[in-house]
Amino acid sequence: MAAKWIETLTGSLEQKKQFRQYKARVEALPEPYDQAAKALERYLMYSSGLTDGDTFMTMFGDFADLWERAAADETSVRAIVGDDPVGFAETFAAAYTGKQWIDKERARLNKAIDDAASEQGDA
């Protein structure tokens, strides 16, 4: 019972454990893979907009897999991200749909417009 209460306040303890494991995997990458992965991770944290922990952890688990495989195969960083690192990051994040912070604002905007239109008789 106490664990459920704590998770309500702090979030999933299992997801926190998974995230720590993910961070350890990235830290273990050799140069320059760790540097590239950390830079892209920072961008994904800000740009992905994900708020669903399960989707977030799936994305970062796959992200770690990608960089570990690239390091093992000695694939160049440019061969992974191409000439547009931002485009790569955004395309990567787009593959992971889940609840995003903007969803609440989209619903709020739709409701406001529906309410305004209904006042004019434009249902």
Domain total for the chain? 1
Give percent of the chain above pLDDT 70. 86
Task: Give pLDDT, residue 10.
Answer: 58
Domain span at residue 85 reads 2-119
Kindly report whether the global pTM for this prediction surpasses the value 0.85: no
Q: Which residues of 27-53 are buried (b: 16+ CB within 10 A; e: fewer)?
A: eebeeebbebbeebbebbeeebebeeb
**Per-position pLDDT tens, the chain of length 123:** 566 655 555 567 888 899 999 999 999 999 999 999 999 999 998 887 777 788 889 999 999 999 999 999 999 999 999 999 999 999 999 888 767 677 788 888 999 988 898 888 765
Tell me the sheet residues that pair with 100.
50
Task: For residue 3, give both structure tokens.
Answer: 């664990």
Averaged pLDDT of the chain: 87
Question: Residue 92's domain is classified under what CATH number?
Answer: 1.10.1900.10
CA pair distance 37, 29, nearest whole angstrom: 9
CA pair distance 16, 18, nearest whole angstrom: 5
CA pair distance 21, 2, nearest whole angstrom: 24
